[in-house]
Amino acid sequence: MSKKPAQPAAPADDAHQAATAVAATATTMDVVAANPLRDPRDKRLPRVAGPCVLVLFGVTGDLAKKKLLPAIYDLGNRGLLPPGFSLVGFARRDWAHEDFAQVTYEAVKEHARTPFREEVWKQLSEGIHFNPGEFSDDGAFDCLAMMLKEIDETRGTGGNYAFYLSIPPKFFSQVVEQLKRTGLANAPDGSWRRVVIEKPFGHDLKSAKELNATVNVVFPESSVFRIDHYLGKETVQNILALRFANELYEPIWNRGYVDHVQITMAEDIGIGSRAGYYDGIGAARDVVQNHLLQLLALVAMEDPTSFDADSLRREKEKVLKAVRLPHDLSTGTVRGQYTAGWQGGESVVGYLEEEGIPQDSKTDTYAAIKLEVANRRWAGVPFYLRAGKRLGRRVTEVAVIFQRAPHLPFSKDDTEILGQNALVIRVQPDEGITVRFGSKVPGTAMEVRDVSMDFAYGEAFMESSPEAYERLLLDVLIGDPPLFPHQREVELGWKILDPIEDHWATHGRPDGYEAGTWGPPSADEMLARDGRVWRRL
Amino acid sequence: MSTFNLTDTTASKISATLTKLRHSMGAPAIGMVLTLVVVCDEGNQYDAVKAATEAAREHPSRILIVINRDPREPSRADAEIRVGEATPGEVVLLRLYGELTKHADSVISPLLLTDIPVVVWWPGGAPAKPAEDAIGKLGSRRITDALAATDADKALRSRSAGYTPGDTDLAWTRLTPWRSLLAAAFDQPMGKVAGGVVEAASGNASAPLLAAWLSYRLKADVKVEDSAGPGLTSVRLTLASGGDLTVERGDARLATLSRPGQPTRRVALARRPTAELLAEELRRLDPDDVYHETVRHMAEQSR
């Protein structure tokens, strides 16, 4: 520990001060109360992370280059990183600190969202370190431990480390073991150690539990931050604001008015270079288990007593526990696999022709599932979830479709083309909210047609919204967990998905759908059986 | 971008032209979030419009620029309307002549967007009591800039007397990065502060505010001293437990933070362009109580 109180004037006082000096490391509620310069009314002052080191495993990966390193720079640019903040890269590369700094520099130049400023880069680059080595190499981790100790002394980071495992889960156990062996996982009094992991959190309930056990042996649950980057998105957080800060929506947000809910995550790309990971996993495990179920939880949950992690997670868990699968899984679920076709003006190959995919692969690149939420608010309202690759275009949205008006005092011809009212939360791209309702077509006849009213984030609050990873990284460094799913939520997700995957494994093959279309015909039939249609996106 | 000039016009004609232009561009009601009224003169008009339109990128707004011209001429209002790609909202430059210069509010108020906040900004000279000014009355937030005053210290102290919730000053906004850095340093308990010094170029408007804020929050005596600049150059707080907490910035870009028992660290602390300051102001439209307490403390101290 590098911090020593300066020339103690009153020893007893100072001993106390030194103890709390290291404990208080970020702008948490207690710190605000104790800090004479902070005031809850002073909203100009941002929450700032305390002195700390971020150790990044897997710096050569795509995620690090495109998202994490730029997000760190952006945080610095917004003045949210503490002075002395240090970044340590760990990878199997023969690099010096400068090489890693160069890699970071290029990633920042190319992908950062805020303008490049020399002084911000200077501040950041002074704290950039690199530790070469393999995960199996004890020496490399001993080096890392020494390097971190040295950084504490030269940069005053106070023994606060966050370990970001941007690596395949199969290496988790090795890395956390090494962190345990070198004592890096154990925080001395008054400092913290956190570990950040990315999806996939297992591929079924059993593996998720095993993975969690691996990490939990070394890090307690409160130190584990699971990143579901959807929860870092402004629009997703806005679901809570929309529902619980307004009086307009909540009274109709129930089975009395809602006909059904559609949650869609469509991608226009294929599997690209992810064949190795994707095959055998599929769309349902890849995105439905985490992102789509999180969206469902936020849309369907009751109001939390407060927005702290505990209350929020409790409500999400309650709703996930209330999720019921369709009785007949063969009519209530659909899986598809894209075949060759035209996507956005380009001729693309089918899934089975992608490089590295076995000819007999039964992996689903499209999944549609009908779920019910068995509680008083939602009984009888189906939630249709769909996710797929090589669909018409890239769009993620939650659409709450309302019931038709109970009585229409117009002639049938007047309202022939009137659809159902809908409230759509557009998650990406073009974040915003759309409300669809009927309106009179100008003219002498009474003709009612659907129109939409739009709120675009890009218009009302331009450029100020931070990237999902920025927000989540800051929350990790501050130690603020509400936006990170708890292991219980992960397990509940698998409890919903496992029976479906089991069913699929024993029943035939995925239905083919041409690339660039909106999934297999069986998905349309699934909704048609309920007298409904998918939204045309 | 297209510009339209209306000579010897009225508010209703301007309003009609705006509506017509928006319809012809196919954007009947884009999501503007506020009306920004800028009261300035021909001299600082260019910079003010530039800053306001840049800030409007983050907060799409209708920007009304009020420029008072020769009061001896016959009463007349000329309007220059700018709409187009450069700004997400609309810009109207109003040039007022004759007796109308005293009744600018009569032109402004029909042009305010309905039921959304109005912000008034004086980039140059400002009334002593902004909230009692005819145009200031229209705004829920009033932004002045002590930097433009010949005696910034005096200007800020007089703001205290005329303070109404919703008042704020860009000299205060300029301090946010400094305050943020100091507050972050104090996230780790420092114990009592015995006293301090804020150093800045002579006549710097923000330095006395920073000193007042520190002295008010830390309950210690904080003095302002002159330095060679540019702008604010350093803050030195003497801790009761011994040693100094210092932030030094010589080049208006990169600062060093040092405190007892810890390594010295460099922090980016760049001066920000007016557009960014304005954008920060527009982000929060609720009264800034901390600013109020600071100017009040400043006024009390100097009494």
Which residue numbers of A are catalytic? Answer: 291
The radius of gyration of chain B's CA atoms, rounded to the nearest angstrom, is 22
Task: Report CA A44 to chain centroid distance, whole Å.
Answer: 27
A53 and A151 Cβ atoms separated by less than 8 Å: yes
Query: B261 to chain A nearest CA, in Å?
Result: 5
The predicted structure's pLDDT at residue B26 = 64
Q: Which of A246, A179, A176, A184 is nearest to A214 (CA)?
A: A176
- Measured CA to CA, the distance from residue B206 to residue B184 in angstroms comes to 20
Q: Which of A391, A397, A422, A413 is nearest to A523 (CA)?
A: A391
Sign of CA dihedral A7, A9, A12, A15: negative
Instruction: Identify which of A9, A17, A118 has the shortest CB distance to residue B189.
Output: A17
Residues A247, A168, single domain; the answer is no
Residues A415, A309, single domain; the answer is yes
How crowded is residue B68: how many other Cβ atoms within 10 Å of its Cβ?
A: 17
- Cis peptide preceding A429, ω within 30 of 0: yes
Residues A457, A506, single domain; the answer is yes
Q: Is residue A524 part of a domain?
A: yes
Chain B residues inside the 8 Å CB shell of A76: 268
Residue A507 burial (CB < 10 Å; 0-12/13-18/19+)?
exposed
DSSP annotation of B250 reads S
The predicted structure's pLDDT at residue A463 = 54
Side chain identity at A102, as an amino acid letter?
Answer: Q
Residues A177, A275, single domain; the answer is no
> Among A41, A42, A464, which would you mutate to test the B interface (most chain B Cβ atoms within 10 Å of its Cβ)?
A42
State the residue range of the domain holding A328.
Answer: 232-529
Residues A329, A477, single domain; the answer is yes
- Measured CA to CA, the distance from residue A217 to residue A31 in angstroms comes to 30
Q: Is residue A24 part of a domain?
A: no
Residue B263's pLDDT band (boundaries 50, 70, 90)?
confident
DSSP annotation of A84 reads T
Residues A239, A190, single domain; the answer is no
The predicted structure's pLDDT at residue A23 = 36
CATH for B2-170 is 3.40.50
Tokens found for residue A113? 């969202």
The predicted structure's pLDDT at residue B3 = 82
pLDDT in tens, chain A (537 residues): 344 444 433 333 333 333 333 333 566 666 666 788 888 888 888 878 888 999 999 888 888 998 999 999 999 988 888 888 999 999 998 999 999 999 999 999 999 888 898 888 988 998 999 999 999 999 999 999 999 999 988 888 888 999 999 988 888 889 999 999 998 988 888 889 999 998 888 889 999 999 899 898 899 988 999 998 888 888 888 899 999 999 999 999 999 999 999 999 999 988 887 778 888 889 999 999 999 999 999 999 999 998 888 899 999 999 999 999 999 999 999 999 999 988 888 888 999 988 888 988 999 999 999 999 999 999 999 999 999 999 988 999 999 999 998 888 887 777 777 889 999 999 888 788 899 998 888 887 778 888 888 887 665 555 556 788 998 999 999 888 888 999 999 999 999 999 999 999 998 899 999 999 999 999 999 999 999 999 988
Q: Is residue A18 part of a domain?
A: no
Residues A182, A236, single domain; the answer is no
How crowded is residue B37: how many other Cβ atoms within 10 Å of its Cβ?
A: 30
Q: Is residue A37 part of a domain?
A: no
Task: From A198, A216, A250, give the residue that closes a domain.
Answer: A198
- Find all residues with CB under 8 Å of A229, minimum gap 6, and list them: A67, A468, A469, A472
Residue in chain A closest to B285 (alpha carbons) equals A43
Domain definitions of chain B by residue range:
2-170, 176-268
The verdict on A30 touching B (C-beta cutoff 8 Å) is: no
Tokens found for residue B84? 């187009």
Q: How far is CA B114 from CA B64, B82, B117, B232, in A?
A: 14, 20, 9, 41
Residues A194, A236, single domain; the answer is no
Q: Read out DSSP for A7-20?
A: S-SSHHHHHHHHHH
A157 and A52 Cβ atoms separated by less than 8 Å: yes
The predicted structure's pLDDT at residue A419 = 85
Residues A330, A446, single domain; the answer is yes
A433 and A426 Cβ atoms separated by less than 8 Å: yes
Side chain identity at B143, as an amino acid letter?
Answer: I
Instruction: Establish, for the pair of chains A and B, how many residue pairs have beta carbons separated by less than 8 Å.
Output: 155
The predicted structure's pLDDT at residue B114 = 84
Q: Write down the pTM of the prediction.
A: 0.84
Chain A residues inside the 8 Å CB shell of B34: none
Residues A171, A292, single domain; the answer is no
Each residue of A145-154: b (16+ CB within 10 Å) or e?
A: bebbeebbee
How crowded is residue A484: how many other Cβ atoms within 10 Å of its Cβ?
A: 21
The verdict on B28 touching A (C-beta cutoff 8 Å) is: no
Side chain identity at B283, as an amino acid letter?
Answer: R
Average pLDDT over residues B137-153: 89
The pLDDT of residue B29 is above 80:
no
CATH number for A363: 3.30.360.10
Q: How far is CA A122 from CA A55, A127, B191, in A?
A: 19, 9, 31
Q: Is residue A73 part of a domain?
A: yes
Extended strands (E) in A58-205: 86-91, 128-132, 161-165, 193-198
Residues A253, A184, single domain; the answer is no
Chain A residues inside the 8 Å CB shell of B280: 44
Residue A460 burial (CB < 10 Å; 0-12/13-18/19+)?
middle
CATH number for A176: 3.40.50.720
Q: Which of A471, A537, A478, A386 is nearest to A160 (CA)?
A: A478
Query: B272 to chain A nearest CA, in Å?
Result: 12
Extended strands (E) in A5-61: 53-57
The predicted structure's pLDDT at residue B96 = 93
Q: Is residue A165 part of a domain?
A: yes
Residue B303's pLDDT band (boundaries 50, 70, 90)?
low
A321 and A486 Cβ atoms separated by less than 8 Å: no
Chain A residues inside the 8 Å CB shell of B279: 464
Residues A154, A300, single domain; the answer is no
> Residue A206: helix, strand or coil by DSSP?
helix
Extended strands (E) in A98-200: 128-132, 161-165, 193-198
Residue B245's pLDDT band (boundaries 50, 70, 90)?
very high
Number of domains in chain A: 2
Contact A44 B270 (CB under 8 A): no
